[in-house]
Amino acid sequence: MADIKNEISKRKTFAIISHPDAGKTTLTEKFLLYGGAIQTAGAVKSNKIKKSATSDFMEIERQRGISVATSVMTFEFKGMLINLLDTPGHKDFAEDTYRTLTAVDSVILVIDCVKGVEEQTEKLMEVCRMRDTPVIVFVNKLDRDGKDPFDLMDEIEAKLDIRLHPLSWPINRGPFFKGVYNIFDRNLNLFRASSQKVEEEYVSISNLDNEELDRQIGRDADQLRTDIELIEGVYGDFDTSTYLSGKIAPVFFGSAINNFGVRELLETFIRIAPNPRPRYTDTRLVEPEEKKFSGFIFKIHANIDPNHRNRIAFLRICSGVFERNKFYKHVRLDKEMRFSSPATFMASEKNIIDEAYPGDVIGLYDTGNFKIGDTLTEGEKMTYKGIPSFSPEIFRELINKDPMKTKQLEKGIMQLTEEGVAQVFTILHGSTKIIGTVGDLQFDVIQYRLKNEYGASAEFRPINYYKACWITAEDPTEMNNFIRTKANYMAYDRENNPVFLASSEWILKLTQQDYPAIQFHFSSEFKTD
Ligand code: G4P
């Protein structure tokens, strides 16, 4: 068995996140090309859920099936072992992305310089902030006529509520884009576009007053000097520890499609991004170097083929060494389990592994034992924290169309919610079930899967709720009083936590004012605070 400390120091586990279309897939592909994990451009792209498929959920499910293959992309770069966790770009699967973010140690956030900060970017950043995840920003598509970089920096800082620190700076933009100046390494990376291809050319310029700069970029040299002086005055020296604590996000500029600025991003990433980090369980902080294995399930992928009902549960290893065929404790079920074919997935190739180390993600075949958030250990009773559910955005009442299949319907809903396809709330009075999702598409998926996999018929009736808020109160009398008075708007989540269903933003505000003793939470994370 390899030395665990050495294995940990080699690993970086991260995700690339972006609003759809900003360039996540393109950047992923370029990283994999650098790592030699794929040979040709286009290999990842073909796994992407295509925009044209938005109304065709079957096509999306099919592609989701393919994308199991790229759930974790492992590649080596300069002696480092990089685990890149894939996140679905489609907004209706945002919950999948949020959960994947619980399994990474850092992220690269891609922003389109033409569009700036978009809706999905804001939400993803919120999730990163909840866990103080270190973020590197990559401003993409510099070959397009985008926003002024200073304006863009202001916009990102304001909308994403994070302080930035540019480590590179663009020289002009759009058709006049000349390249970037690397503030960190003090060199110029020139963008040389010919009709066939784009080339990167590095020129070392430690002093910007050097006339070489004028020779290389002509009239843009003075502008660059002014910009860099301003930047250095405002931002000072870069301090890696503020990045690692999630307080400051370094920024790079480039053009992923042209493979420009990608190498310096990757090289800086492997230098500054964190190795597998310690993680909290409900009882203590677990260090990755600990001898005993532990890890948690953050994603479950069901096979939509009714003939193959198995599921794949994705496990993030947090400490110790995971070994094939060894018995581990499934803490929630208090059950010993062993896995004979733990797998890694890469570019449609499935490999059975014998050992895995902290930071690694492996797929375990599951016949219904796992749900998201489950912890495996070598015997210790502890559960990893911080795998939250967020308030859904769309709510519908579940209508059973075939009373003969009530049991099947309940089983189906239980299993689909365990997989994280949707959330279910049971209304306080009566047994009405409300299904909550982040996208319309999920309802089609649920209806189809209930029919095909469980033989149950369901329909959904629209209900006008704005948010589901988990509620807590220090004083149990206040809590009971609230639940009694708001009985018509009260429900319970799958774990029997009380949830207030607010019909509008205005009602929510009013209720918050009227009941100061009640705390309203917008994610189930409060349970693990
Ligand atoms: P996503 O995964 O974040 O959704 O984005 P993706 O990489 O698929 O990129 C979205 C579109 O933006 C693609 O174009 C891609 O080629 C383009 N793109 C990515 N990086 C750059 C860049 O640096 N500059 C420019 N100008 N475009 C870039 P598409 O037309 O939607 O797809 P395709 O036909 O090129 O595959």
Is the pLDDT at 17 greater than 60? The verdict is yes
Highest mean pLDDT among 121-125, 198-202, 322-326, 416-420: 322-326
Query: Is 84:73 a contact under the CB 8 Å cutoff?
Result: yes
The candidate with the shortest Cα–Cα distance to 489, out of 477, 504, 499, 481, is 499
Question: How far is it, in rounded angstroms, from Cα 133 to Cα 301?
Answer: 25
Question: How far is it, in rounded angstroms, from Cα 320 to Cα 126?
Answer: 30
Does 274 sit in the ligand 1 pocket, CB within 6 Å?
Answer: no
Query: Is 101:131 a contact under the CB 8 Å cutoff?
Result: yes
Backbone angles phi, psi at 357, to 5 degrees: -120, 170
Query: Is 331:377 a contact under the CB 8 Å cutoff?
Result: yes
Does 90 sit in the ligand 1 pocket, CB within 6 Å?
Answer: no
Is the pLDDT at 525 greater than 80? The verdict is no
Which atom belonging to ligand 1 lies closest to the Cα atom of 255? 23
Does 165 sit in the ligand 1 pocket, CB within 6 Å?
Answer: no
Q: How far is CA 492 from CA 28, 245, 415, in A?
A: 40, 35, 17
Does 23 sit in the ligand 1 pocket, CB within 6 Å?
Answer: yes
Amino acid at 71: S
**12, β-bridge pairs:** 82
First to last CA, the chain: 36
Question: How far is it, in rounded angstroms, from Cα 50 to Cα 48?
Answer: 6
Q: Report, at the CATH architecture level, how domain 394-528 is classified.
A: 2-Layer Sandwich (3.30)
Whole-number Å distance, alpha carbon 66 to ligand 1 midpoint, is: 20
Of 32-41, 257-266, 310-319, 380-389, where does mean pLDDT reach its minimum? 32-41
* Domain extents in the chain: 4-272, 279-377, 394-528
Does 141 sit in the ligand 1 pocket, CB within 6 Å?
Answer: yes
The CATH code that applies to domain 4-272 is 3.40.50.300
Query: Which pLDDT band holds residue 9 (cuts at 50, 70, 90)?
Result: very high
Whole-number Å distance, alpha carbon 257 to ligand 1 midpoint, is: 7
Question: How far is it, in rounded angstroms, from Cα 93 to Cα 439?
Answer: 7
Does 25 sit in the ligand 1 pocket, CB within 6 Å?
Answer: yes
Percent of the chain with pLDDT over 70: 87
CB atoms closer than 10 angstroms to residue 37: 20
What is the average pLDDT across 343-351? Answer: 67
Same fold, 4-272 and 279-377: yes
Domain range 279-377, CATH class: alpha beta
Is the pLDDT at 228 greater than 60? The verdict is yes
pLDDT of residue 34: 85
Q: How far is CA 453 from CA 239, 262, 314, 334, 412, in A?
A: 53, 43, 21, 28, 8
Question: How far is it, in rounded angstroms, from Cα 221 to Cα 499?
Answer: 59
Whole-number Å distance, alpha carbon 23 to ligand 1 midpoint, is: 5
Query: Is 339:364 a contact under the CB 8 Å cutoff?
Result: yes
Is the pLDDT at 513 greater than 70? The verdict is yes
Whole-number Å distance, alpha carbon 25 to ligand 1 midpoint, is: 8
Burial (CB count <10 Å: 0-12, 13-18, 19+), residue 499: buried
Whole-number Å distance, alpha carbon 141 to ligand 1 midpoint, is: 8
For 169: left if phi > 0, alpha if psi spans -120 to 50, otherwise beta; the answer is beta
What is the per-residue pLDDT across 417-462, written as a single tens digit (0 to 9) for each?
888 888 999 998 878 999 998 878 889 888 988 988 889 999 999 9
